[in-house]
Structure 1
Amino acid sequence: MSIYNINTKFDSYELNERRREALAKIDNAEFGWFHIRACLVAGVGFFTDAYDLFAINLVTPMIGMIYFNGALPSDLDLGIKIAASIGTFIGQIGFGYLADRLGRKKMYGVELMIIIVATLGQSLSGNGYVLSLPAALIIWRLIVGVGIGGDYPLSAVITSEFATTNRRGAMMAAVFAMQGFGYLTTGIVTLILLAAFKDSIIANTQNLDYVWRLLIGFGCIPALVAVYFRLTIPETPRYVLDIENNLNKAERDVANVLKESRNHLQSEDDANEGIISNPAVVKGSFSDFCSYFSKWENFKILFGTSMAWFALDVAFYGIGLNNSFILSSIKFSDVEGDNFSTCWNAAVGQIIIVLLGAIPGYWVTVFTIERLGRIKIQIIGFVMSCILFCILGFAYNPIKDHSVPLFIFLFAATQFFQNFGPNATTFIIPGEVFPTRYRSTGHGIAAGSGKLGAIIAQVGFSHLKDRGGLNNNIPQLLQIFAIFMFIGLVVTFLIPETKGKTLEELANEHELSSNFRQVNNALNDDDD
């Protein structure tokens, strides 16, 4: 294998210009089928993630009815719900690091295979002498969470690095918006299954066992569809340029993606024999990572994105995984002595909330993010969510006692402004603001911080909601969520606006330019 030898000032500038030209082609490309395919392949993963995460919201009440003659004990309910969040935290940090270390392509698809295996494991779990059903579900949901966690940094970074500059935010938002359809589908599938087994469930509640197992198992189908396309997606040109440090291969990959003529490029065989390397590329390492983030201008971005995601997820998962409790507390879903109607109403309530709030919120973000910008949308979302949680928290009892429709509307509005706001932007911004060598790691850290918030929310919700009586403390929890929305608003001002900027501008490209100057000065000194 031969290495391109740089021995003149002209050569170093030539490599710099070739790199910039390759990046400019990606940044300024016409929006085409490849971009649509990238969004679909990444989006199906998020559809699956949301389906698997939020289906459990409808499953745990069924398990309580079948195996515990009523409600699932609070510690088991907490264990089953929090297991996926713990696994997601592990997956976000681990896959984030591995995608920078081993490559986006090598890791993409692995997380879906984990999800498929663990989803099947959940749906086939049973009671045993050594391992109870709830314990088995906790283990499988921990594993499925690892796969779900891996999807966050991988899908964000791959979409970001393939996207054009003026459509990058919309593409990433569209990928993330598939969560809304996954959330909606859990309710729709539940209604279909309940209708199919209605007579047998009314005759014997034990037949709900068919429903929850099929409901969980359905999550495998979209993942199976997407896994092939993820395994065959090309490596991102930015990873090839800045981490593999192979300029020639990156140029060829860009030409392949954009369907350009490749006559002026090396053939496949030539490219394998000769690697054109860039001597000024900064290598990723632990010491360089510490050096890069020890600078306040860089650390404040990592802290701001992480803390904003943490604050959001305290509220987002605090209510998202506990919709059934909240709907029960306002007497919307709980029908005494009728398990079928209770499950049916819980699914209907979830569908209503998603259709009124989550899905519109996601897609308003998609269509406005390139005009309004990320930061403005994030600020709007945090401000409105804070106000709505204050209203729901302080006027909880009067609203639920006198107007259930108003409560549902306000509750759905919080979902709208979380999704037209920080739930989308906290995913998008970390995929843009870090350099290529740490982009996936940085996104994984920010996303993992969010899951720490989700874990804290679940533990807090489980232990506080029933103090003083069943669902007695829900108003106080909604007030706490308002405080976290305010915290998220404050830290948003540490984060730069990314609209209209290339990834290299956002990642302090001047560092690379400085390296080129050092290389050229060294070469000139040698010439002298």
Structure 2
Amino acid sequence: MSTYNNTKLDANELNQRRREALSKIDNAEFGWFHIRACLVAGVGFFTDAYDLFAINLVTPMLGMIYYGGPLPSDLDLGIKVSASIGTFIGQIVFGALADRLGRKRMYGVELMIIIVATLGQALSGNGYVLSLPSALIVWRLIVGVGIGGDYPLSAVITSEFATTNRRGAMMAAVFAMQGFGYLTTGIVAIILLAAFKTQIMADIHNLDYVWRILIGFGCLPALVAVYFRLTIPETPRYVLDIENNLNKAERDVATVLKENRNHLQSEDDAAEAVISNPATAKGSFSDFCAYFSKWQNFKVLFGTSMAWFALDVAFYGIGLNNSFILSSINFSGVKGDNWTTCWNAAVGQIIIVLLGAVPGYWVTVFTIERLGRIRIQVIGFVMSCILFCVLGFAYHPIKDYSVALFVFLFAATQFFQNFGPNSTTFIIPGEVFPTRYRSTGHGIAAGSGKLGAIIAQVGFSQLKDRGGPNAFIPQLLQIFALFMLIGLIVTFLIPETKGKTLEELSNEDEVGQSYTTSNNNSLDEEK
């Protein structure tokens, strides 16, 4: 058996090297690597939003093709809520795995799940044992797992590679790709409806081509991004704080920033030498409980989770059901003309996204480093609360006075949700937790949001027709206003993260009392 000598190194020197490596990341010039990281992560969120919200246009088509009218409410709910259930599972599971196994190892896996499940949806059919709606529910549960995994992985990878003064803008830009994904569903639907108009007018069953191509199109951007995700390097913070390999982290930082690496030891030595810090806290269930048992840490986890929960009750309550809301004001529904009903629903979605969602996302990108995360979140919750109150309590007067005014106010709620908590609830959890729990914490916060989405979808489905078709929508909008108020209140538990490094935000003292350097093989032998 071979033996290797461990050499005691000066702790102060190695702590200084660690700080220098982190400082290079935090203060780097914004360059091509940062743009590439945003694009690779952003394509995933484009795909996520496309897959999630395309179903908003698909379910009415399924009803027309297979049921000669609206899709039965239980099937409509099952198809929509299954993706949210899968997303919840993916957020929790991938969040924990990324902290345990590494960001790089898990990144790309979630996109492969999305690709397979999206194709599965598009190719589903009725069978003797499994009906088409049942098959869609199963496939959407699976696609949701992939979508859920994208949240903590993309957020944490972007935050750990970003510079301090651009971290919020980079994460917001990644998340803003959701707006384009949402918009693209409407555009693709319009193109397909125009292409198949003659066939659909002749036989409604030709809508089957439209919904299958509409769903299947979601594979294309994911296929583009898979290779780049599989080849993205591990984040230096994970290498430093969890793998405890300072030499490798220094080499990776130099590679990412295109530095001259002559000041580092040779490539072979750097690959072999492992610098570990026995004083560094290791991720474990007991340590997780100890860390979050402290109020200053738990309140951040509770605040980010509850704010995301409150936001998603309203965001998904209307986002996955806007066709019902538009039809309730006679904007999309055209009696006896299925093609025009589908066309108007797609046009309505485009109008709402262009007026509200896309501008809201990008205003956040360009203002978050100036205004800060908390101020934007407060503005978004306050304005959304006011607008939901106006729409809820004056629903019939506004609808009777002007459909255009109603659509404008409805789009305004989308704007202030996206220029506000829909962006910041994604960004902040990727910044406020220590490296060993950053992905887990983000997954818990995101999963809490999906619980809100599930509750909203079940509640919307069960309550919207109480008292008559779409009769309870005003009361639902009032309920959404209440959740916006709850989100506003818990926002004050969350710290402002603008201009602070991830280490400053972790609520931990920097440790590094005793470093040793050893060969990788000796570590294996010691195990």
TM-score (norm 1): 0.96
% identical aligned pairs: 86
* CA-CA distance at 1:462 after TM superposition: 0.2
Asked if 2 retains the 8 angstrom alpha-carbon contact of 1:123 and 1:213, the reply is yes
Matches within 5 A, 1:416-495: 416-495=415-494
Matched, 1:360 2:349: no
* CA-CA distance at 1:274 after TM superposition: 1.7
Q: Distance in 2 between matches of 1:240 and 1:454?
A: 35
Match of 1:16 in 2: 15
Match of 1:246 in 2: 245
Q: Secondary structure at the match of 2:276?
A: coil
CA deviations on 1:477-509 (whole Å, 9 max, x unpaired) are 000000000000000000000000000000124
Relative to structure 1, the CA distance from residue 104 to residue 463 in structure 2 (aligned partners, 3 Å threshold; closer, same or farther) is same
Partner AA of 1:245 in structure 2: N
CA deviations on 1:206-249 (whole Å, 9 max, x unpaired) are 00000000000000000000000000000000000000000000
Q: Secondary structure at the match of 2:261?
A: coil
Matched, 1:130 2:102: no
Matches within 5 A, 1:115-154: 115-154=114-153
Relative to structure 1, the CA distance from residue 287 to residue 459 in structure 2 (aligned partners, 3 Å threshold; closer, same or farther) is same
Relative to structure 1, the CA distance from residue 314 to residue 299 in structure 2 (aligned partners, 3 Å threshold; closer, same or farther) is same
Asked if 2 retains the 8 angstrom alpha-carbon contact of 1:193 and 1:211, the reply is yes
Q: Secondary structure at the match of 2:470?
A: coil
Q: Distance in 2 between matches of 1:275 and 1:443?
A: 29
Q: Distance in 1 between matches of 2:90 and 2:364?
A: 26
* CA-CA distance at 1:271 after TM superposition: 2.1
Match of 1:525 in 2: none
Partner AA of 2:68 in structure 1: N
Q: Distance in 1 between matches of 2:15 and 2:429?
A: 26
Q: Distance in 2 between matches of 1:167 and 1:96?
A: 23
Match of 2:184 in 1: 185
Match of 1:380 in 2: 379
Q: Distance in 2 between matches of 1:289 and 1:178?
A: 32
Relative to structure 1, the CA distance from residue 30 to residue 4 in structure 2 (aligned partners, 3 Å threshold; closer, same or farther) is farther
* CA-CA distance at 1:384 after TM superposition: 0.1
* CA-CA distance at 1:3 after TM superposition: 7.8
Q: Distance in 1 between matches of 2:180 and 2:423?
A: 14
Asked if 2 retains the 8 angstrom alpha-carbon contact of 1:318 and 1:458, the reply is yes
**Alignment length (residue pairs):** 514
Q: Secondary structure at the match of 2:331?
A: coil
Q: Distance in 1 between matches of 2:70 and 2:268?
A: 65
Q: Distance in 2 between matches of 1:298 and 1:223?
A: 36
Relative to structure 1, the CA distance from residue 470 to residue 282 in structure 2 (aligned partners, 3 Å threshold; closer, same or farther) is same
Partner AA of 1:92 in structure 2: Q
Q: Distance in 2 between matches of 1:273 and 1:382?
A: 51
Partner AA of 1:264 in structure 2: H
Q: Distance in 1 between matches of 2:13 and 2:101?
A: 28
Asked if 1 retains the 8 angstrom alpha-carbon contact of 2:247 and 2:271, the reply is no
Matched, 1:44 2:58: no
Asked if 2 retains the 8 angstrom alpha-carbon contact of 1:4 and 1:274, the reply is no
Q: Distance in 2 between matches of 1:4 and 1:393?
A: 72
Matches within 5 A, 1:137-176: 137-176=136-175
Match of 2:223 in 1: 224
CA deviations on 1:12-55 (whole Å, 9 max, x unpaired) are 11111000000000000000000000000000000000000000
Matches within 5 A, 1:48-127: 48-127=47-126
Partner AA of 2:387 in structure 1: L
TM-score (norm 2): 0.96
Q: Distance in 1 between matches of 2:211 and 2:363?
A: 32
* CA-CA distance at 1:401 after TM superposition: 1.4
Match of 1:298 in 2: 297
Match of 1:200 in 2: 199
Asked if 2 retains the 8 angstrom alpha-carbon contact of 1:184 and 1:350, the reply is yes
Relative to structure 1, the CA distance from residue 127 to residue 166 in structure 2 (aligned partners, 3 Å threshold; closer, same or farther) is same
Asked if 2 retains the 8 angstrom alpha-carbon contact of 1:3 and 1:274, the reply is no
Q: Distance in 1 between matches of 2:418 and 2:3?
A: 51
Match of 1:337 in 2: 336
Asked if 2 retains the 8 angstrom alpha-carbon contact of 1:4 and 1:275, the reply is no
Asked if 2 retains the 8 angstrom alpha-carbon contact of 1:247 and 1:278, the reply is no
* CA-CA distance at 1:127 after TM superposition: 0.4
Relative to structure 1, the CA distance from residue 480 to residue 233 in structure 2 (aligned partners, 3 Å threshold; closer, same or farther) is same
* CA-CA distance at 1:5 after TM superposition: 4.2
Query: After the TM superposition, which segments of 4 or more aligned residues of structure 1 sit over 2 Å from their partners?
Result: 1-8
Q: Distance in 1 between matches of 2:480 and 2:504?
A: 35
* CA-CA distance at 1:280 after TM superposition: 2.7
Q: Distance in 1 between matches of 2:274 and 2:118?
A: 42
Asked if 2 retains the 8 angstrom alpha-carbon contact of 1:15 and 1:278, the reply is no
Relative to structure 1, the CA distance from residue 469 to residue 275 in structure 2 (aligned partners, 3 Å threshold; closer, same or farther) is same
Match of 1:278 in 2: 277
* CA-CA distance at 1:266 after TM superposition: 2.4
* CA-CA distance at 1:4 after TM superposition: 8.3
Q: Distance in 2 between matches of 1:334 and 1:216?
A: 22
Asked if 2 retains the 8 angstrom alpha-carbon contact of 1:4 and 1:276, the reply is no
Q: Secondary structure at the match of 1:333?
A: coil
Q: Secondary structure at the match of 2:476?
A: helix
Q: Distance in 1 between matches of 2:71 and 2:205?
A: 14
Q: Distance in 2 between matches of 1:4 and 1:376?
A: 54
Gaps in structure 1 of 5+ consecutive residues: 521-528
CA deviations on 1:342-401 (whole Å, 9 max, x unpaired) are 000000000000000000000000000000000000000000000000000000011111
Q: Distance in 2 between matches of 1:251 and 1:337?
A: 67
Asked if 1 retains the 8 angstrom alpha-carbon contact of 2:297 and 2:507, the reply is no
Q: Distance in 1 between matches of 2:186 and 2:7?
A: 61
Relative to structure 1, the CA distance from residue 4 to residue 298 in structure 2 (aligned partners, 3 Å threshold; closer, same or farther) is farther
Relative to structure 1, the CA distance from residue 215 to residue 84 in structure 2 (aligned partners, 3 Å threshold; closer, same or farther) is same
Q: Distance in 2 between matches of 1:47 and 1:355?
A: 15
* CA-CA distance at 1:7 after TM superposition: 3.8
Q: Distance in 2 between matches of 1:163 and 1:78?
A: 39
CA RMSD of aligned residues (A): 1.2
CA deviations on 1:248-277 (whole Å, 9 max, x unpaired) are 000000000000011121233212322122
Match of 1:320 in 2: 319
* CA-CA distance at 1:278 after TM superposition: 2.3
Match of 1:33 in 2: 32
Match of 2:413 in 1: 414
Q: Distance in 1 between matches of 2:145 and 2:4?
A: 39
